[in-house]
Amino acid sequence: MHSAIVVFPGSNCVAEMERFLEAYFKQKPAMIWHKDTNVPEADLYVLPGGFSYGDYLRAGALASISPVMEAIKKKVKKGNKVLGICNGFQILCETKLLPGTLRINDNKTKGPKMPIGTIYRNFICKSVLLEPHDYLMPSVLLEPHDYLIPIAHGEGNYYHSRPKSVNVAFTYKDNPNGSVNDIAGIFNKKGNVLGMMPHPERAFEDYHCSQDGYKVLDMFIQ
């Protein structure tokens, strides 16, 4: 199987995602620049974490109108799989490939305040437990298991006006950011687009908090 990473100005998790995908697929992923309109064929396209365009306007807003996203939308329509991690999840919501929006973390969290532009956001960086849900992945639930995966975000507070209509992939066991219904990740209706705030590419090495990142890919690309 082949994978590809979409790279935007400011993306800072590309190297980690490259190592993760190479370890999983046993071959290097292709790199797609944000200005590309003809993208190589791949079984999985990944929008990585990082502060694309410096999170100006709001996280993911400028990246969502990059030329490459029109090509990604066409791939989604064809049935190719797209995974958005952290800022990638925000971009997918901005492009309407996924419903809802990501807001500034609820200030009940006690993490350090991080200045970005003129706004102070509660930035959270820690490992969290995720509970997988049964939308399009019954095989995972044959052996119930919580995933231990790190988060690192200031705008991960997922919101949807009708959260029960959302196809939930993961929920937080202990909500760190105020997300509605504890939502940590969601699918589109077809199940070929997955967005999540936690970073599976930081949960696969021996020195990481766990190797549960692999299970995210197992679940998504099976």
Sequential DSSP letters for 195-209: EESS-GGGSSSTTSS
Quick one: pLDDT at residue 104?
85
Quick one: pLDDT at residue 142?
43
Closest CA to 194 of 102, 76, 22: 76
Q: What digits encode the pLDDT tens for the residues 68-87?
A: 999 999 999 999 999 999 99
Number of domains in the chain: 1
Name the active-site residue from 34, 133, 153, 199.
Answer: 199
Name the active-site residue from 16, 18, 155, 201.
Answer: 201
Residues of the domain holding 109: 3-221
**Which single residue is written with the structure tokens 């949960």?**
203
Q: What digits encode the pLDDT tens for the residues 144-189?
A: 679 999 999 988 899 999 999 999 999 999 999 999 999 999 999 9
The yes-or-no verdict on residue 217 having pLDDT over 90 is yes
Calpha distance 154→4 (Å, rounded): 26
Measured CA distances, 193 to 85, 107, 127, 161, 210 (Å) = 11, 29, 24, 20, 24
Residue 9 identity (one-letter amino acid): P
199 has catalytic annotation = yes
Quick one: pLDDT at residue 222?
76
Name the active-site residue from 86, 94, 153, 160.
Answer: 86
Quick one: pLDDT at residue 135?
63
Q: What digits encode the pLDDT tens for the residues 119-152?
A: 455 788 999 999 998 665 555 444 567 999 999 9
Which CATH number does the domain housing residue 152 bear? 3.40.50.880
pTM for the whole structure: 0.90
Q: What digits encode the pLDDT tens for the residues 99-115?
A: 999 998 886 655 555 55
18 has catalytic annotation = no
86 has catalytic annotation = yes
Instruction: Share the mean pLDDT of the chain.
Output: 88
Quick one: pLDDT at residue 221?
87
